[in-house]
Structure 1
C-alpha cells in the first residue's frame, strides 16, 4: 500500500517524534517549521488541511473541534504521558503504513 500520509505535529509535541518519523522517510512538519507558534487550534487544523497533513496532538481541544464538525485532513490523538516517544512513533508509523489520506479525512485515530 502506498505510504502517502503526511504529518503535522502540534505545538507541544517533542521534536524527537519528528526526528523519529523522518528517519523512517515520513514527511512531517513541526509547528515551528510552519510558523504556527502561538496559533489557535483552528489555525493549526486549517494549515494542516490545506497541506493535506494529518495532525498529531496530545491536546483534547482538537477532539472538541472534530466533534463540532470542523473540517480536517485527520487527527491522531494520544493522551499526554500515556505513551512513550517510541510508542507514539510506532503508532504513527502504523497509521502511515496502513491508511491512506482519504481514510483519515475528518477521522480521529487514537494511540
Structure 2
C-alpha cells in the first residue's frame, strides 16, 4: 500500500478542488473521470474500496454507510455550504500530509 493518501472526489464536489489538490501533487480521481456519474452510492463505495482511495464527499448518506462497515479506506466529509472551497482544500492537504492510508481505514474525518 502507498504511504500517501489517494483521494476520490464524489460527484457533487467542485472540480476546482481536484485541480488544486493535483497542483499540489496529490493523487485524485473524480466520479466523472472514473465513469461513475449517476451510479449508486454502493458503486462509489465499491470503487474506493477497490482502488484504496479516501472518499471526499458532501453527501451524508456515506456517513450512514460508513457506520455499517469498518473496512472502507476512509471518508472525509464536509457538510455542504459549511466551508469555503479554500478551507476544504486546506483540510484535505493537511489530511494528506499527516495521515497515512492505514490510519484512515474505517475512519470518517469531518472537515
Aligned to 2:26: 26
Q: Do structure 1's residue 76 and structure 2's residue 79 form an aligned pair?
A: no
Q: How does 1:49-60 map to 2 (within 5 A)?
A: 49-60=49-60
TM-score (normalizing by structure 2): 0.95
Which structure 2 segments of 5+ residues have no match? none
Q: Tell me how far 1:93 sits from its aligned partner.
A: 0.3
Aligned to 1:10: 10
TM-score (normalizing by structure 1): 0.95
CA RMSD of aligned residues (A): 1.3
Q: Tell me how far 1:71 sits from its aligned partner.
A: 3.6
Aligned length: 110
TM-superposition CA deviations, 1:62-111 (whole Å, max 9, x none) = 00001122641100000000000000000000000000001001100010
Inter-CA distance 3–86: structure 2 relative to 1 (3 Å threshold): farther
Using the alignment, how far apart are the partners of 1:80 and 1:109 within structure 2? 15
Inter-CA distance 35–24: structure 2 relative to 1 (3 Å threshold): same
Runs of 4+ in 1 over 4 A off after TM superposition: none
Given that residues 74 and 105 in structure 1 are in contact (C-alpha distance below 8 angstroms), is that contact kept between their aligned partners in structure 2?
A: yes
